[in-house]
Amino acid sequence: MATVEFFFDCSSPWTYLGYSRIRPVCAAAGAIIVWKPILVGGIFNTVNPGVYAQRDNPNPLKAAYARKDMADWARYCGIRIRGIPPVFPVRAVTAMRGALYSLDQGCLEAYADAVFERYWGDFEDISQASVLTAICRQVGLDASDFFAACDDPEIKARLRANTDEVIARGGFGSPTIFVDGDDMYFGNDRIPLVEAALAR
């Protein structure tokens, strides 16, 4: 049985697209998904700072097409991405620590679904405790335990470790996907290549 490691940060729209597609692909192939929450900002700071320069000085033609491309992909995937939220980039550290807690509680997918939907579909600020509290209520997590876990040094260390791991393995953004250990793919548009790798 193949293993697919999915390194992801909910603050990326392209990750939302890839996340929505990787589950049916893995289900069809009988592959196991290993969810690896990360902080994509930590990756950019370490190995891909050019992302910030592109944000500060966008090419207007490319930016206009990127908005259309994102809308086309969202329509294709059947998810809501309304565009770029008013708070972007968002400080997603608590949300991503919470992803690790939800993983431990056995509800990572429900939690990540909710975080992605609230941020990209509803334009809610996922850095805010009130938004994360509502997400906890939605997916059946105790909010007090959730925030306590997000302050736990062990959860903080695991998020850093996941981020450091993907960098050490050659990753430079989100989503980064590995099939059976060392076969790396980056981005939503590489999901068909992941599917082909699983078919092999």
* pLDDT for the residue 5: 98
pLDDT reported for residue 161? 98
| pLDDT recorded at residue 67 | 93
E strands in 3-156: 3-8, 32-37
For the chain, domain boundaries? 3-199
* Structure tokens given for 175: 């989503």
Report the pLDDT value the prediction gives residue 193, as an integer from 0 to 100: 98
Extract the runs of DSSP E, i.e. beta strands, from the chain: 3-8, 32-37, 176-179, 183-186
List per-residue pLDDT tens for the chain, 200 residues long: 999 999 999 999 999 999 999 999 999 999 999 999 999 999 989 998 888 777 888 899 999 999 999 999 999 999 999 999 999 999 999 999 999 999 999 999 999 999 999 999 999 999 999 999 999 999 999 999 999 999 999 999 999 999 999 999 999 999 999 999 999 999 999 999 999 999 99
Based on C-alpha coordinates, what's the Rg of the chain? 16
Phi and psi, residue 176, nearest 5°: -115, 130
The tally of CA atoms less than 13 A away on the side-chain side of residue 10 is: 32
Q: 3-state secondary structure string, 85-139?
A: CCCCCCCCHHHHHHHHHHHHCCCHHHHHHHHHHHHHHCCCCCCCHHHHHHHHHHH
How many C-beta atoms surround the C-beta of residue 49 within 10 A?
10
**CATH number listed for the domain at residues 3-199:** 3.40.30.10
- Residue 49 has what pLDDT? 83
Query: How many residues in total does the chain contain?
Result: 200
90-103: string of b/e by CB count within 10 Å (b at 16+)?
A: bebbbbbbbbbbbb
